Amino acid sequence: MSDVMKTLGLTQLEKALPVLFEQARQQKMTYETFLQRALDAEVEGRNLRAAQRRIQAARLPVTKTLESFDFSFQPSISERLVRELADLSFVQTTTNVIFLGPPGVGKTHLCIALAVKALAAGHSALFTTLSQLAEALETASYPSLVRQRLRRYTTPSVLIIDEVGYTRLTPEQSHHFFELVTARYEHGSILLTSNTSFSEWGNLLGNEVLATALLDRLLHHAEVLSVTGRSYRMKDRLSANSVSVKP
């Protein structure tokens, strides 16, 4: 029987079968119930494996959740808007979500948390920083490899591009970044974080005209969240200091 299940690719059922047999004996299951449970075990197992594969493929650097985000610490972020985004209609409408603000205010946390929601709902996602992305595309030395690498970033439903602004791009990298944003425009959402205001993107890309065209596509269907609060990373240090200076 094990061979037949292997031939049919029923690997999840094969794993679940010993327990199912035991339950069937104990609960005196009908044939119908047993068959239903056996098929359910295969489907559930497959769904679980697909979900695990999706999560691995997303390459999230850490797992963050909306539940662990303290909105009271960051009043400049609209909790209502973030919760609306978490219903994932932005994925369907291929709307981009841009988080602007200084370091430590939770930009990456919120992007990852939204990606976690999207993954749980069955969407694909991929996390990258702009410098990783630029490097991956630049080191592809011939055009077909560039196209192949680009596809890696165009196929996921949700692409996170983190830390835009820390690296100035070479002309070639800027061109690839533009190509990617153009390829995803109205096809797939981008979640992007930046410490740099849009007016500086000309400098960042080394090309004002390209930056304007890129921002035009990026912002056409986008929610922009500007975060102006304090760094969460410094929270404990600041409160520790304030405790220590108290008499």
Q: What residue ranges bind ligand ADP (CB under 6 A)?
A: 64, 68-70, 73-74, 103-109, 193, 232-233
Please give the single-letter amino acid code of residue 115: A
Is 163 within 8 Å of 130 (Cβ atoms)? yes
Closest CB to ligand ADP among 112 and 214?
A: 112
In the list ligand ADP, Mg ion, none, the entry touching 198 (Cβ below 5 to 8 angstroms by class) is none
Closest separation between CB of residue 86 and Mg ion, Å? 19
Q: d(Cα 145, Cα 141) in Å, to the nearest integer?
A: 7
Closest separation between CB of residue 48 and Mg ion, Å? 30
Q: Is 30 left (phi over 0), alpha (psi -120 to 50) or beta?
A: beta
Is 181 within 8 Å of 221 (Cβ atoms)? no
Closest CB to Mg ion among 62 and 245?
A: 62
Give Cβ neighbours of residue 22 (< 8 Å, ≥ 6 apart). none
Residue where the block lists tokens 């002309």: 171
Closest separation between CB of residue 96 and ligand ADP, Å? 17
Residues that bind Mg ion in the complex, under the rule CB under 5 A: 108
In the list Mg ion, ligand ADP, none, the entry touching 185 (Cβ below 5 to 8 angstroms by class) is none
Closest separation between CB of residue 108 and Mg ion, Å? 3
